[in-house]
Structures are given as structure tokens and as C-alpha cells.
């Protein structure tokens, strides 16, 4: 028995190969874990205008509001001294590649408007430090990239 190769056989082989490879890729993609950037990304997108206003408020404070890492193991939060006694908020250490590793720290400022946040225990790599606080009835938001070694 001899198999004859003609254009019909070639097309059938190409279509079959395409279908099998497509099904293989779909099976592979479905087996991969899906980690959303955040669970409530839709609600966060609705709050984008408020976030822009809060960012503008923080920018207006200039260098009086900052997130710095003079020591690689400590993130230093600094807010204006006049806000230190009544500011409330949270610092989120956000891991873009793995939302399960995010850490949220409640803002507890000293009288000079500073708070030291230890970075011990964080996985090395790229992080985002996001500080959101309220003082004098105004919302503020400050974000800074952070590399943990």
C-alpha cells in the first residue's frame, strides 16, 4: 500500500497539526495559576480620579512628605510635623509579581512626623511602596518604587 501525497493530504495534515497544537496551548494556559494584580482592580479603577487628586495633594507638600530608604533594611516614612498628631492611613508594600506577598502597615507616626518600617522578611526584588493617608479632611497618596535586596 502506497500513500500518495497530494495537496489534499498536505492540507489535512496542516489543519490537524494546527488544531492539536492549539488544543495543547489552551490546556497549558488553563493549567497556569492566574494571579490578578489585585482582587478589587475594578473598584480601584473607579477611584482613579480621587487617587489623582490625592497624589496632587501629596505633591503640593513637596519634600515634607517622602518615602526614603537611607538604610536598605528600613523604609522611612516622613510627613509634615503639623500632620503627625492627627494623620491616619496605611502603607502598602505592594509586590507586582505576587499579590499574596503584599504587606499592609498601619500609619503610626512619631511626634516628628516619621515612622520607620522594617523591610525584613520581604522577598528580594521589585516592590512599590504606596502611602495613603488622611489629614485635615484631605486625602493624600504617595507612591515610590522600592528594590529589596
Q: Please report, for residues 53, 78, 127, 146, the alpha-carbon distance to residue 149 in angstroms, rounded to integers and kept in the order given.
A: 33, 22, 11, 10
* Domain co-membership, 25 together with 49: no
Question: CA 70, CA 116: separation in Å to the nearest integer?
Answer: 11
* Domain co-membership, 129 together with 82: yes
**pLDDT tens for each residue of 46-76:** 888 899 999 999 999 999 999 999 788 999 9
Domain membership of residue 12 as a residue range: 1-32
* Domain co-membership, 116 together with 138: yes
> What CATH code is carried by the domain that includes residue 92?
2.60.40.10
* Domain co-membership, 102 together with 123: yes
Write down the mean pLDDT value for the chain. Answer: 90
* Count of domains forming the chain: 2
Question: CA 51, CA 57: separation in Å to the nearest integer?
Answer: 10
DSSP class of residue 86 equals T
For residue 35, the model assigns a pLDDT of: 66
For residue 92, the model assigns a pLDDT of: 95
* Domain co-membership, 47 together with 10: no
* Domain co-membership, 25 together with 86: no
What is the chain's length?
149
Amino acid at each position: 500500500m502506497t500513500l500518495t501525497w497530494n495537496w489534499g493530504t498536505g492540507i489535512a495534515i496542516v489543519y490537524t497539526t494546527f488544531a492539536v497544537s492549539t488544543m495543547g496551548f489552551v490546556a497549558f494556559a488553563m493549567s497556569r495559576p492566574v494571579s490578578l494584580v489585585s482582587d478589587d482592580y475594578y473598584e480601584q479603577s473607579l477611584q482613579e480620579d480621587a487617587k489623582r487628586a490625592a497624589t496632587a495633594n501629596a505633591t503640593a507638600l513637596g519634600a515634607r512628605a517622602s518615602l526614603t530608604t537611607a538604610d536598605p533594611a528600613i523604609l522611612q516614612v516622613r510627613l509634615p510635623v503639623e500632620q503627625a498628631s492627627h494623620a491616619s492611613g496605611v502603607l502598602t508594600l505592594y509586590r507586582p509579581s505576587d499579590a499574596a506577598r503584599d504587606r499592609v502597615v498601619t500609619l503610626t507616626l512619631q511626634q516628628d512626623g516619621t515612622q520607620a518600617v522594617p523591610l525584613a522578611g520581604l522577598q528580594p526584588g521589585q516592590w512599590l511602596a504606596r502611602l495613603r493617608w488622611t489629614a485635615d479632611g484631605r486625602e493624600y497618596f504617595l507612591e515610590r518604587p522600592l528594590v529589596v535586596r
